Amino acid sequence: MFTTKLTENIWSTQVRNPSGKLILLALARYANKKCICWPSIETLSGDTFISERQIMRIIKQLEADKLISVYRAGWNKPNVYTIHCDTMSPEPSIDYYNIVNG
């Protein structure tokens, strides 16, 4: 259920270009409850059909816009991404869990 809330916040967040929003949504797919994930650039490229080089550019832009932070672990180690949930809009007022589950 957390991913749904994070995804709703991303949909309502202003992002410079549609590709940036798509990358944020792809990161959210792998995020834990602390908004942390570590998918590879190759995985993000496979999920979004955006080239790996373009994904690296978009991630730098998202980082500059303070929507994410990146811990670069080093050669052949995955980067760790933190999505800044606190800078995004608040959770939606609709309680999807109770609607779906009665």
CATH number at residue 56: 1.10.10.10
Domain count, the chain: 1
Q: What is the pLDDT of residue 98?
A: 56
Q: What is the pLDDT of residue 101?
A: 57
Question: Identity (one letter) of the amino acid at 89?
Answer: S
- 95 within some domain: no
Q: Does residue 94 sit within a domain?
A: no
Q: Provide the residue-wise pLDDT of the chain in tens; the chain has 102 residues.
A: 466 788 888 888 888 899 999 999 999 999 999 999 999 999 999 999 999 999 999 999 999 999 999 999 888 888 999 999 776 654 444 454 555 555
Burial pattern 71-90, b for ≥16 Cβ within 10 A else e, equals eeeeeeeebebebebeebee
CA pair distance 55, 45, nearest whole angstrom: 7
**Inside any domain, residue 98:** no
Interatomic CA distance for residues 102 and 33, integer angstroms? 24
100 occurs within a structural domain: no
54 in any annotated domain: yes
Structural domain of residue 12, as residue ranges?
Answer: 2-86
pTM score of the predicted model = 0.80
